[in-house]
Amino acid sequence: MSETTIFSIYNERDEEIRQTLKEVYDALQEKGYNPINQIVGYILSEDPTYITTHQGARNKIRKLDRDDILQSLLKNYLA
């Protein structure tokens, strides 16, 4: 008897969010910003000017829903 593979769209979504946040973090750091402060500012306000356009970071983060970002961060923090 073979094992059943469990597929979860949430795991893939969390990975997409993690990868995007990492790329945005790196772009902000390259430009000399404090990435944590900038990302928190964006999440709280949804003002895209908190995120640099360098490396397409602003476009990348705007593809994510803020609620999804917060849920993923909280879930992974508490895990």
The mean pLDDT value for 30-59 works out to 97
pLDDT in tens, 14-23: 999 999 999 9
Q: What is the pTM of this model?
A: 0.84
pLDDT of residue 11: 81
The mean pLDDT value for 62-76 works out to 94
pLDDT of residue 45: 96
Helices assigned H by DSSP within the chain = 9-30, 35-45, 57-62, 66-78
